[in-house]
Amino acid sequence: MLRQILRILDTDAYKLRWLIFVHFFSAVLQGIAFAVLVPLLRNVFERKYEEAWSWVFAEIAILVIYSLLSYWARLTGLKISTDLVSRLWKRLGDHISILPLGWFSGGQVGQVAKLTSDGVLNVMGVSTNLLKPLMEAFVTPSVVIITMAIFDWKLALAVAATIPFIAIAYFVAEKITHKFDDQWYMASVNMSNRIVEFAQAQPILRAFNRTNNSVQHLDEALLGSRNATKKSLSNGSIGQILFLVVLQAAFTVVLFVGTSSALGANIDAPELIALLILVTRFVQPLMDAGGLGVASRVARNNLKRIEKLMATPGLPEATHPEKPKDTAIEFKNVSFGYDKKRTILKNVSFKVVPNTMTALVGASGSGKTTITRLIGRFWDVDSGTVSIGEKDVRALSSHDLMKLVSFVFQDVYLFTGTIEENIRMARPDATQDQLEYAIRAARVDEIIERLPNGLATQVGEAGGSLSGGERQRVSIARAILKDAPIILLDEATAALDAENEALVQEALSALSANRTLIVVAHRLQTIMAADQIIVLDNNAIAEKGKHHELLGSGGRYADFWREKERAKGWRIKSNAVS
């Protein structure tokens, strides 16, 4: 565990090494302080007060040094803890930011949330709460045995003989409790995910009157967490009791040996009393270590999980990044699947000319959104190449690629903060004139005029205080302010009302001017205006061309167009109730 923390602290590792040394020296001093009680008490019982006073002064000096070292160690431990937390959060944040988005599924988000909160804080406690008592648990008893041998080697030998049994009991107890740690952890993650899901899905659950069903799932997760916790605690108690029984037996054996020696006149009564005090100081730190076993194991397990997360490969960066010639986009024999069992795209090839609009058309699940995200290199392709300006996106640096591309998708996420902060995040150094232009072009000015705090209005968690259309316009303003030459648009007007759709369309027109645009298209007007239409079917390109060309070919696109035209005339009719 300490080696892992030293690696994390990197250049500040020397601070922890110094702290370990100070705790070691303090534990030695503590053992010596208790050893000094033997001659001190013996002189007091024998009424040799002058000699006793010299031992008292020695005891006071040791305790003063011990107190000063403990104070320094406490402050240093707190400083190391804050450094450790900062480094862990930074390293985790940096690594999470380069993981492929496909990784964030199957409960991974819940695990990351738990690891970056509870996990990091548990590791933080090592230098402040665990290191000192753990060091005292092993060093102080060792010093006690050594000093005890000076006064009575038989009693010291009896104490030393109990160590193997205590060690075996400790490791058995650890093995018993460790068995259920992972079960408890996964149950806790599942419970956290269910609680968040239950809170976030309240509008949908209530709209479909499914709150009872959702509560049932939440109850099952809570029950699972409770049962896992109960099992972990009960088995931990068994291990703890086993360890304490062995410790008590060891203490009893040493007490019996010491008493027998006193009755045999091998040790006088004052010395026996002092030595038994030493025996107590031998046992007490070990009892404390048994209680600290759980905390140290939790910290150790969390460090393992952090290292496992850090070992998860991210998208590789180009060693010698290249620069694209222009904003032309090309897919060449691209195949891709989110897992090996399901192929989304198979041998897909097409070109997009700079400053043109390409519309992607096809049924749900045909790979339209996947194409846009492969351009942004959310994932790497399984085979083939995706290139921008004749350069493979894998040969571009992530920074350069993200400067080239802006995303506007249906699922808009706004960060907690003001409207202005959410727009400016695309380009923090933008001038006020650039910001105002983006606001006007995206028709966000119409929103802020209605709000009492204007641009300073808080959007709430995930933008919850704004409507869907308002969130969409803020996201488009963000994209306009970024001023990227390539726009990837999962057409954002499909689920909006007529008024918001018209406003968002105006914003999109401003966004797409003089840019290379790829649109996941749903609206007929958008499809007709495209310079190129790509029809996806059965994981491949079924057709591509202009609107009139594809209509004339009588293929899959013509069928799609007829269905769209027919759907325009659909009306909801109310039946008369007699």
Q: What pTM was computed for the model?
A: 0.63
Give per-residue pLDDT as tens, 13-23: 777 788 888 88
- Looking at residue 213, its pLDDT comes to 52
The domains located in the chain, with CATH, are 2-298 (1.20.1560.10), 329-567 (3.40.50.300)
Cα 91 from Cα 523, distance rounded (Å): 43
3 C-beta neighbours (distance < 10 Å), count:
9
Q: Packing angle between helix 269-311 and helix 131-151, nearest 10 degrees?
A: 150
Cα 501 from Cα 476, distance rounded (Å): 13
DSSP class of residue 208 equals T
Between vectors from CA 355 to CA 546 and to CA 481, what angle results, nearest 5°?
Answer: 130
Give per-residue pLDDT as tens, 372-410: 889 988 888 889 999 999 999 999 888 888 889 888 877
Cα 98 from Cα 113, distance rounded (Å): 17
Three-state secondary-structure class, residue 404: helix
Return the amino acid letter for 359: A
- Looking at residue 570, its pLDDT comes to 59
Return the amino acid letter for 525: Q
For residue 46 the two structure tokens come to 């024998």
Residues linked to residue 339 through DSSP beta bridges, in sequence order:
342
Nearest to 367 by CA among 395, 396, 333, 343: 343
Tell me which residue has tokens 């921008």.
Answer: 388
* Helix runs in 97-119, H state only: 108-114
Tell me which residue has tokens 């392709």.
Answer: 381
Cα 249 from Cα 161, distance rounded (Å): 12
233 C-beta neighbours (distance < 10 Å), count:
15
Neighbour order of strands in the sheet with 383-388: 345-352, 329-336, 383-388, 391-392
**Cβ(335)–Cβ(379) under 8 Å?**
no
Cα 173 from Cα 495, distance rounded (Å): 58
Give per-residue pLDDT as tens, 492-506: 555 455 565 666 666
Instruction: Tell me the backbone φ, ψ of residue 332, rounded to 5 degrees.
Output: -125, 105
Nearest to 197 by CA among 181, 215, 177, 182: 215
DSSP string, 116-161: IIIIHHHHHHIIIIIHHHHHHHHHHHHHHHHHHHHH-HHHHHHHHH
**Cβ(443)–Cβ(503) under 8 Å?**
yes
Residue 349 host element (H or E): strand 345-352
**Cβ(423)–Cβ(478) under 8 Å?**
yes
Whole-angstrom CA distances from 519 to 361, 368, 547 are 9, 9, 15
**Cβ(307)–Cβ(91) under 8 Å?**
no
- Looking at residue 20, its pLDDT comes to 83
Three-state secondary-structure class, residue 391: strand
For residue 369 the two structure tokens come to 């959104």
Cα 423 from Cα 479, distance rounded (Å): 8
Low-confidence ranges of the chain (pLDDT < 70): 1, 9-10, 101-102, 105-107, 109-110, 174, 176-186, 188-222, 225, 228-240, 243, 254-255, 257-276, 278, 281-284, 287-294, 462-463, 491-513, 524-525, 564-578
> How far is the first Cα of the chain from the last one, in angstroms, to the nearest whole number?
77
Tell me which residue has tokens 């988005």.
Answer: 101
- Looking at residue 238, its pLDDT comes to 66
Whole-angstrom CA distances from 268 to 34, 151, 213, 450, 542 are 19, 11, 75, 92, 100
Residue 571 host element (H or E): none
- Looking at residue 577, its pLDDT comes to 45
- Beta-carbon contacts of 397 under 8 Å, excluding residues fewer than 6 positions away, are 317, 318, 321
- Beta-carbon contacts of 188 under 8 Å, excluding residues fewer than 6 positions away, are 114, 225, 228, 229
Instruction: Tell me the backbone φ, ψ of residue 496, rounded to 5 degrees.
Output: -100, 160
